[in-house]
């Protein structure tokens, strides 16, 4: 099936006792057994729950994966992946990785004798030389497009490096969504989503997901999910599954608005630079056009002015709400330096270009003309 059909139908089951077209929310912690260890495949809801299972089938289908696993948050999914590793492992991480992922690596997992190396992965040669430098390199952590600088990383090139060194390649695909980019098809071993963002899509939940077609990794991750217990509630699993049905149509409008807003900003004299992979001027536009079928609604730009000018701009916006997060139906604006990326070490922020005049937009699914008019009056 093609993506829009998959979104609507994957994991959909008719409820057998009533014929209800919508599968129920099974609010149960446990399941009655006929005899000890003789049951219908469910024994405890941390291990499995029918509502969650239906949603996980749908998640797998959206990425063309054999298996899907859902988590209580995107970062719980990140944790599960890191827990695959033995102490002493070395992990290569893209330098402008999501702030919360970087914080988890630097402040929590670094205590467990794991060595995180942050590198600019827009340069595959730098990744290659870092990977071959040590046999302890076990994981390559890619996020593309990155956050908030919108760098694009060549997933096929990363997959080649991972294969030749025996490392696992993980791609955080949150920004592109499964509609515009499928990293498993490009050679990745695991795909990660913060389903809080585009998959949830309505700014009303927190969730995470992992998809893989590697049986060995699935079995280990399934054990980590069960043993660690960072699972979503049946209510959240239902809500995310429901959201998935409209992912395709939502992404089309996010993409339309993203392109229009990026082009408008690029033509405005108050704007110094626009970062959007769909613009021809983007340094990795060619790679983006090869591995993505759309560019989403995330646009970063540098205002040609001081922090005071930025504050005035933010106050004047009427439709774009000042808030963390992204990927919801409503448009949001964020100031990475003071908000989402405040936990990134200052010298790293400087190196990446996350300064006082950088603004990040999450274009929602409102009318394009209204979004542009709002930005125009605020500028």
User: What count of Cα atoms within 13 Å lies in the side-chain half-sphere of residue 362?
Assistant: 28
**Pairing label, strands 168-172, 190-194:** parallel
Which residue in 98, 198, 276, 320 binds ligand PLP (CB under 6 A)? 98
Which residue in 73, 89, 243, 284 binds ligand PLP (CB under 6 A)? 73
The dihedrals phi and psi of 55, each to the nearest 5 degrees, come to -65, -40
Q: For residues 299 and 361, is the Cβ–Cβ distance under 8 A?
A: yes
Report how far residue 35's alpha carbon sits from residue 43's, in angstroms, rounded to the nearest whole number.
12
Q: Residue written as tokens 């702030």?
A: 99
Q: How far is the CB of 32 from ligand PLP (least distance, A)?
A: 34
Please say which residue, 248 or 327, places its beta carbon nearer to ligand PLP.
327
**Pairing label, strands 358-362, 137-143:** unpaired
Please say which residue, 85 or 298, places its beta carbon nearer to ligand PLP.
298
The two tokens of residue 10 are 């994957």
The strands making up 137-143's β-sheet, listed across from edge to edge, are 67-71, 208-212, 190-194, 168-172, 137-143, 90-94, 115-119
Please say which residue, 78 or 271, places its beta carbon nearer to ligand PLP.
78
| Contact set for ligand PLP, span 325-354 (CB under 6 A) | none
Q: Is 149 in the site for ligand PLP (CB under 6 A)?
A: no
Q: For this structure, is 197 an active site residue?
A: yes
Look up residue 318 and give its DSSP letter. Answer: S
Report how far residue 147's alpha carbon sits from residue 98's, in angstroms, rounded to the nearest whole number.
6
Q: 23, 55, 98, 198: which one is catalytic?
A: 98
Alpha-carbon distance values, 98 to 8, 138, 177, 292 (Å):
29, 20, 15, 20
Q: How far is the CB of 181 from ligand PLP (least distance, A)?
A: 12
**Pairing label, strands 115-119, 358-362:** unpaired
Q: 197, 250, 349, 360: which one is catalytic?
A: 197
Please say which residue, 50 or 200, places its beta carbon nearer to ligand PLP.
200
Q: Is 95 in the site for ligand PLP (CB under 6 A)?
A: no
Q: Is 147 in the site for ligand PLP (CB under 6 A)?
A: yes
282: nearest Cα among 314, 317, 258, 257: 258
Q: How far is the CB of 65 from ligand PLP (least distance, A)?
A: 18
Q: Is 101 in the site for ligand PLP (CB under 6 A)?
A: yes
Q: How far is the CB of 193 from ligand PLP (least distance, A)?
A: 8
Contact segment (CB under 6 A) with ligand PLP among 95-103, 209-217, 279-287, 305-313 equals 95-103
Q: 46, 103, 106, 214: which one is catalytic?
A: 46
120: nearest Cα among 90, 144, 85: 144
Which residue in 63, 96, 172, 374 binds ligand PLP (CB under 6 A)? 172
Write each residue from 189 to 218 as x if it is in contact with ligand PLP (CB under 6 A), else as -, in one continuous string: -----x-xx--------x-x----------
Q: For this structure, is 112 an active site residue?
A: no
H helix or E strand, kind and range, residue 170: strand 168-172
Q: 95, 154, 172, 236: which one is catalytic?
A: 172
Q: Is 364 in the site for ligand PLP (CB under 6 A)?
A: no
Site residues for ligand PLP per CB under 6 A = 73-75, 98, 100-101, 143, 147, 172, 174-175, 194, 196-197, 206, 208
Active site (catalytic) residues: 46, 98, 172, 197
């Amino acid at each position: 099936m093609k993506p829009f059909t998959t979104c609507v139908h994957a994991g959909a089951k008719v409820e057998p006792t009533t014929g209800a077209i919508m599968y129920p929310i099974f609010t149960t912690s446990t399941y009655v057994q006929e005899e000890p260890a003789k049951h219908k495949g469910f024994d405890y809801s941390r291990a499995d729950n029918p509502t969650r299972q239906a949603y996980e089938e749908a998640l797998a289908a959206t990425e063309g994966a054999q298996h899907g696993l859902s988590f209580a948050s995107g970062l719980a999914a990140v944790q599960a992946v890191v827990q695959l590793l033995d102490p002493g492992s070395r992990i290569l991480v893209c330098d402008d990785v999501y702030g919360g992922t970087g914080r988890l690596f630097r402040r929590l997992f670094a205590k467990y004798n794991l060595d995180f190396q942050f590198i600019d992965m827009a340069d595959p040669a730098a990744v290659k030389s870092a990977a071959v430098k040590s046999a302890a390199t076990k994981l390559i952590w890619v996020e593309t497009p990155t956050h908030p600088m919108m760098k694009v990383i060549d997933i096929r090139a990363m997959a080649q490096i991972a294969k030749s060194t025996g490392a696992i390649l993980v791609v955080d695909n949150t920004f592109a969504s499964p509609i515009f980019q499928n990293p498993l098809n490009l050679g990745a071993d695991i795909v990660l989503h913060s389903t809080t963002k585009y998959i949830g899509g309505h700014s009303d939940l927190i969730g995470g997901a992992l998809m893989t077609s590697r049986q060995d990794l699935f079995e280990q991750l399934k054990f980590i999910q069960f043993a660690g217990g960072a699972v979503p509630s049946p209510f959240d699993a239902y809500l995310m599954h429901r959201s998935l049905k409209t992912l395709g149509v939502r992404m089309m409008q996010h993409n339309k608005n993203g392109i229009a807003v990026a082009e408008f900003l690029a033509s405005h004299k108050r704007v110094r630079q626009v970062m959007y992979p769909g613009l021809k001027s983007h340094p990795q536009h060619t790679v983006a056009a090869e591995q993505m079928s759309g560019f989403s609604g995330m646009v970063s730009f540098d205002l040609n002015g001081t922090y005071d000018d930025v504050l005035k701009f933010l106050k004047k916006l009427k439709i774009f709400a000042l808030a963390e997060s992204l990927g919801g139906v409503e448009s949001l604006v964020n100031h990475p330096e003071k908000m989402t990326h405040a936990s990134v070490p200052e010298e790293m922020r400087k190196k990446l270009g996350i300064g006082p005049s950088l603004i990040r937009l999450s274009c929602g699914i409102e009318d394009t003309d209204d979004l542009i008019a709002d930005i125009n009056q605020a500028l």
